[in-house]
Structure formats: structure tokens, C-alpha cells
């Protein structure tokens, strides 16, 4: 029995890799093959140092406004359309004119652009209004009245710009359709007219649907980056959605859980603190990882074109490694901001795996000693 025990122990140690665990070991994620090339076939591994933190902090993602920059008709609405309510006022130079009355030498005619895009003016007939500017319609009416009215002068006022409506729905106080004035309407103005968002701005996503194109941005990004506060066009649909941000924590942490963002910004240090920090006797302080998808342009800035070109998609899976055995790591963790759907993983220390092994074989060792004692007697 004493001879068989060392053999049994050797086979058991060889099987330590098969022990239960919460994820890969640090040495698996940072193998020599990956560290030598800084990239595997599946993801890019980046050490979380000063230069990397600075690059991530300074990187500005593609603006939400780029989705609509080249769309025809983008900008302010200056054209009349079907359903618009107008007031056409006509003046004449003499009291005996067609539109003169006992009260004056002018008359106001309320009209609505019909389903065919026309309005009707007495003595001028049907006049196309759809697609014209206010000035274009005014000139057209005045030209039609020449030779019929006495030196006519025409003024067109837009009473209701019904054709230039945008729809705002979702998590707003007053969802509905809102018409824009001749000067146009920006995205933030549409949300404000709908009563604003029900939730915090950093937890609210605004989606704009324009024809076959769509784009979305956090409501707070419309304020931080004024370029994102785009001009709306007639027919745009705006959806305001409450989407709280979360991150996940796994591995050798005190509490494995899904954690919501409680403030507008959360750093890596705060994220670790919210899950209770590292687990004593188990965590590898040199094996703290953060998993996320980054823009390929950011990867190119950090690692160069050669690494970025290995990925065809615009989003690249990236693993950031932080070594908290170094004092500087605490300052880096304090400066590195987390994002929605980030994953924190803390690897187990190699000695923790051996501790698990001892817990498993402890009863076996006790049984072996009992059998040996009985055999000796």
C-alpha cells in the first residue's frame, strides 16, 4: 500500500487540469503564442498600461450623425406638402378689385394642400403647392392673378406644417407626432417637445429611422457631442428606449454577478469594488482581465495596421490584462472607464488549484492510512 500511494499521487497531480474551475487560468489567456504576436485567431490581447489607457480614453468613436450625413433631403424642412394648412392673403391696388371688400382692399383665404398636392384660389384656379417653398407658392399665385386682379400682392403664411411631422415614441412623457416649423427641428428638440426621457440620459438610447437607414446613440452623447444633434427631416421616426448599462464579473471575485451601472461612469477599480474585490487565497492578482468589443480603428491605433487587418469586421474582440501586483495598476484601474456589457474575469492562482486537489484527495489519504494501519496489525 505504501508503494502504491506515490503512484496514485503522481497520477492525481497529472489530472489537476481537470479540476472544477470558474474559467481559464491566466497562463491560458496569456500563453507565449498569444503574447508573441499580440493577437490570436480569436481576439487581441492588450496589456493595460499607461499608453493603452490613454489611447482608449482619447479615442472618439464614429459620430452618430454620420449615418445621415449623405442622405438626400437631410437638413431643414423648407418645402410645403400634403396636409399643410395655409393662409393666403391677397391685396389689390384699387377698391374695385376682385378681392376688395367694404372693409379694405385685401382678403385672406384659408386653404389646405389636398391629397393631389394642390390648393384652390378663386380666379387663379388649382395651383400646385406640394414640393414648393413658401416663396415659390407666393410667386406662383401672384403670377396667376396678373391680368385678373388689380396689381395683386400676395402673402402666404403657414398655419399648420402638417406634412413636416416627425413621430416620437417610446420612453418619453408625451409620445406622438410633432410638426416642425420652417426653420426645422433638431433631434434634441423633438425629444424635449415629447416631454423628455423618463429615465436618466445615460441610460436612454435614441434611435432615428429615416427611410432604409437607422442609427442610435445614448441621449447623453447628443449633449456631449453637438454634432450628433442632427436636423430631422419630415417622416423621421424617433424611438426613445430605456437601456440600462450592465457589466458581468466572473472568476475569483467575492460575488459573481451581473452589475448595473449606478452612475454615469464606472471605472474598472469601481467595478471590482462593486463585486467585493478579489477573493482571498484564490485570486491571481496578476491575472485580471476585461473582455469587450472595440472598434477596429482603435486596435489599429494601439497595435498598428498589421494586427487590425487580421480582423474583417468593424468590431474586434479585445482582452485587456491588468497586473495588480504592481502599484501603478491601481491608478490605471481608476482611470480606465468601463462600458456596457463589459466582462471582468479574475483568474485563479495556480496554488488555488493545488488547494482544490488537496481537498479532493484528503479523504482518500485518510482512507489509505486506515487501510495501512489495519494491514500492519
pLDDT score of 73: 47
State pTM to two decimals: 0.69
% of the chain surpassing 90 pLDDT:
45
Q: Residue 112 belongs to a domain with what CATH number? A: 3.30.1950.10
CA distances from 80 to 71, 83, 128, 164, 363 (A): 19, 9, 10, 8, 86
Residue 21 lies in a domain: yes
Residue 265: count of CB within 10 angstroms of its CB: 10
Based on the domain organization, do 69 and 47 belong to the same domain?
A: no
Based on the domain organization, do 173 and 112 belong to the same domain?
A: no
Based on the domain organization, do 176 and 209 belong to the same domain?
A: yes
pLDDT score of 361: 54
Q: Residue 68 belongs to a domain with what CATH number? A: 3.10.560.10
- The pLDDT of 349-370, averaged and rounded, is 57
Query: Which of the pair, 265 or 96, is modelled with greater confidence?
Result: 265
Could you read off the pLDDT of 179-188 as tens digits, one per residue? Answer: 887 778 899 9
- The pLDDT of 338-351, averaged and rounded, is 89
At 161, list the grid cell.
Answer: 406644417
Q: Tell me the residue range of the domain where 170 lies.
A: 64-75+164-242
Could you read off the pLDDT of 128-154 as tens digits, one per residue? Answer: 999 898 899 999 999 999 988 888 999
Based on the domain organization, do 69 and 184 belong to the same domain?
A: yes
Based on the domain organization, do 24 and 50 belong to the same domain?
A: yes
% of the chain surpassing 70 pLDDT:
79
Could you give the residue ranges of the DSSP H alpha helices within the chain?
4-14, 26-29, 32-37, 50-58, 134-145, 187-193, 219-224, 268-274, 296-303, 305-308, 328-335, 350-376
- The pLDDT of 106-117, averaged and rounded, is 91
Number of domains in the chain: 3
Query: Which of the pair, 338 or 374, is modelled with greater confidence?
Result: 338
pLDDT score of 5: 47
pLDDT score of 211: 85
Could you read off the pLDDT of 5-26 as tens digits, one per residue? Answer: 444 444 444 444 454 555 555 5
Q: Is the pLDDT of residue 104 over 80?
A: no
Could you read off the pLDDT of 222-254 as tens digits, one per residue? Answer: 888 888 898 888 889 999 999 999 999 998 899
Q: With helix as H, strand as E and coil as C, how does 118-164 read?
A: EEEECCCEEEECCCCCHHHHHHHHHHHHECCECCCEEEEEEEECHHH
Least confidently predicted of 38-42, 69-73, 166-170, 361-365? 69-73
pLDDT score of 98: 82
CA–CA separation, 266 vs 92, rounded Å? 69
pLDDT confidence tier of residue 77, bands split at 50, 70 and 90: low
CA–CA separation, 370 vs 377, rounded Å? 11
CA–CA separation, 277 vs 247, rounded Å? 15
Amino acid at each position: 500500500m505504501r508503494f502504491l500511494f506515490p503512484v496514485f499521487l503522481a497520477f492525481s497531480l497529472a489530472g489537476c487540469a481537470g479540476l472544477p474551475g470558474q474559467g481559464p487560468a491566466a497562463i491560458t489567456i496569456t500563453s507565449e503564442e498569444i503574447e508573441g504576436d499580440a493577437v490570436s485567431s480569436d481576439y487581441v490581447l492588450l496589456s493595460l498600461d499607461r499608453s493603452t489607457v490613454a489611447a482608449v480614453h482619447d479615442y472618439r468613436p464614429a459620430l452618430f450623425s454620420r449615418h445621415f450625413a449623405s442622405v438626400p433631403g437631410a437638413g431643414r424642412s423648407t418645402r410645403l406638402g400634403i396636409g399643410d394648412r395655409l393662409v393666403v392673403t391677397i391685396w389689390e391696388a384699387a377698391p374695385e378689385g376682385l378681392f376688395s371688400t367694404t372693409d379694405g382692399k385685401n382678403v385672406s383665404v384659408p386653404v389646405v394642400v389636398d391629397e393631389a398636392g394642390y390648393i384652390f384660389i378663386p380666379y387663379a384656379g388649382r395651383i400646385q403647392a406640394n414640393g414648393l417653398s413658401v416663396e415659390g407658392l407666393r410667386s406662383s399665385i401672384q403670377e396667376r392673378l396678373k391680368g385678373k386682379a388689380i396689381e395683386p400682392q400676395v402673402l402666404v403664411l403657414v398655419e399648420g406644417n402638417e406634412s413636416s411631422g416627425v413621430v416620437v415614441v417610446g420612453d418619453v412623457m408625451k409620445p406622438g407626432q410633432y410638426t416642425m416649423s420652417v426653420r426645422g427641428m433638431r433631434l434634441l428638440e423633438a425629444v424635449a417637445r415629447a416631454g423628455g426621457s423618463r429615465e436618466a440620459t445615460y441610460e436612454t438610447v435614441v434611435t432615428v429611422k429615416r427611410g432604409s437607414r437607422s442609427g442610435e446613440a445614448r441621449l447623453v452623447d447628443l449633449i456631449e457631442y453637438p454634432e450628433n444633434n442632427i436636423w430631422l427631416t419630415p417622416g423621421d421616426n424617433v424611438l426613445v428606449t430605456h437601456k440600462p448599462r450592465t457589466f458581468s464579473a466572473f472568476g475569483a471575485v467575492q460575488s459573481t454577478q451581473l452589475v448595473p451601472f449606478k452612475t454615469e461612469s464606472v471605472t474598472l477599480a469601481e467595478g471590482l469594488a462593486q463585486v467585493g474585490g478579489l477573493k482571498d487565497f484564490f485570486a491571481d492578482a496578476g491575472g485580471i482581465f476585461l473582455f469587450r468589443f472595440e472598434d477596429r480603428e482603435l486596435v489599429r491605433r494601439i497595435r498598428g495596421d498589421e494586427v487590425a487587418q487580421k480582423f474583417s469586421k468593424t468590431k474586434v474582440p479585445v482582452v485587456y490584462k491588468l497586473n495588480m501586483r504592481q502599484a501603478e495598476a491601481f491608478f490605471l484601474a481608476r482611470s480606465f472607464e468601463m462600458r456596457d456589457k463589459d466582462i471582468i474575469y479574475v483568474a485563479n492562482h495556480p496554488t488555488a488549484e493545488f488547494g482544490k486537489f488537496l481537498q479532493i484527495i484528503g479523504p482518500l489519504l485518510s482512507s489509505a492510512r486506515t487501510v495501512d494501519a489495519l494491514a500492519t496489525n
